Structure 1
Amino acid sequence: MRTSRPDRALALILGLMLAAPVAAQETSLPIERPSAVEIEAAEPTIAVLRALDKITARITELEIPVGGKQGFGTLTIDVQYCRSRPPIEAPESFAYLTIHDRPAGQTEEVKVFEGWMLASSPALNGLEHPVYDVWVIACKAAAPESDAGSR
């Protein structure tokens, strides 16, 4: 039995539609670590993070300046980049973090996370730790230093 032209055209269109998601996945761009030039050129910002201790159910909001480190439990959180989109775009904040853990009884820290975290999708690329959860809330501009001593 011979298929008609409309049937072949429909089969071709359906084949292209099914292949489109696969082609889109293959062309995704790698996410790279920000360079030192990008970090230095950025305005001084503070990453606002929320951390959860799953054992005690303690939630803590952390404000860490870009380039700074802060501890939470046995974790050391290092913020390397933080940016929020301008108000005219869809709201989103993202940060590049490195998180080390020093388990009890050990002298050396172990890297447990390094990468980008998105405020709108905390489960997309989050910290996988048995005791702690850390996620990005926002990025905000650092308060300008007062010039009271310059008079």
Structure 2
Amino acid sequence: MRLVVALVATLSAGAALAQDAPSGLADAGAAVLRGLDKVAGTAADIELAIGQSVDYGQIRITLDACRYPPSDPSSNAYAFVTVEEKDAAPVFSGWMIADSPALSAVDHQRYDVWVIRCKTE
């Protein structure tokens, strides 16, 4: 029983961390995301500016923020992304972390979306 309680506490802490980007990060003006259509077996890189939305198959992806460590921009990226079925409620809305894509994954039967990097130029 103690093991179950410890596991639940650990998973809850990880979920809470996924919703907040660490402090001390620099803001980027754009990001590169990757979309995967699990049915067709195709993947595509998607470049979005802050505030921009794009239709990818049957979903719409919106980038609200992208932050990165200023000392090493290529080391990690934190992107606030909203994924929604067209004309429906959001499937995902929260922070995605490039080096931990499973921590805050999109839960969609057909599509996966994750952040690759922030665009700093």
Please give the range of the TM-score, normalised by the shorter of the 2 chains.
Answer: 0.7 to 0.9
Task: Check conservation: 2:27, 2:65, Cα contact below 8 A.
Answer: no
Larger radius of gyration between Structure 1 and Structure 2: 1
Partner of 1:109 in structure 2?
88
CA RMSD of aligned residues (A): 2.7
| Higher strand content, 1 or 2 | 2
Partner of 1:11 in structure 2?
none
Looking at structure 1, the residues matched to 45 and 72 of structure 2 have their Cα atoms a distance apart, in angstroms, of: 27
Are positions 1:121 and 2:105 aligned together?
A: no
Are positions 1:68 and 2:52 aligned together?
A: yes
Aligned pairs for 1:1-151 (under 5 A) are: 31-32=19-20, 45-88=29-72, 91-102=75-86, 108-142=87-121
Q: Cα deviations across residues 101-150 of structure 1 (Å, max 9, x unaligned)?
A: 13xxxxx32210000000000000110100000000000124xxxxxxxx
Looking at structure 2, the residues matched to 116 and 70 of structure 1 have their Cα atoms a distance apart, in angstroms, of: 18
Partner of 1:15 in structure 2?
none
Looking at structure 1, the residues matched to 54 and 101 of structure 2 have their Cα atoms a distance apart, in angstroms, of: 20
Question: If the length of structure 1 is used for normalisation, what is the TM-score?
Answer: 0.61
Q: Which has the higher contact order (CA 8 A, sep 6+)?
A: 2
Structure 1 residues 88 and 77: alpha-carbon distance in aligned structure 2, compared to 1, 3 A threshold:
closer
- SS of residue paired to 1:121: coil
Q: Percent identity?
A: 35
User: Runs of 5+ in structure 1 lacking a partner?
Assistant: 1-20, 34-41, 103-107, 143-151
Partner of 2:3 in structure 1?
none
| Higher helix content, 1 or 2 | 1
Looking at structure 2, the residues matched to 85 and 32 of structure 1 have their Cα atoms a distance apart, in angstroms, of: 14
Task: Measure how far apart 1:87 and its partner are.
Answer: 3.2
Looking at structure 2, the residues matched to 58 and 88 of structure 1 have their Cα atoms a distance apart, in angstroms, of: 31
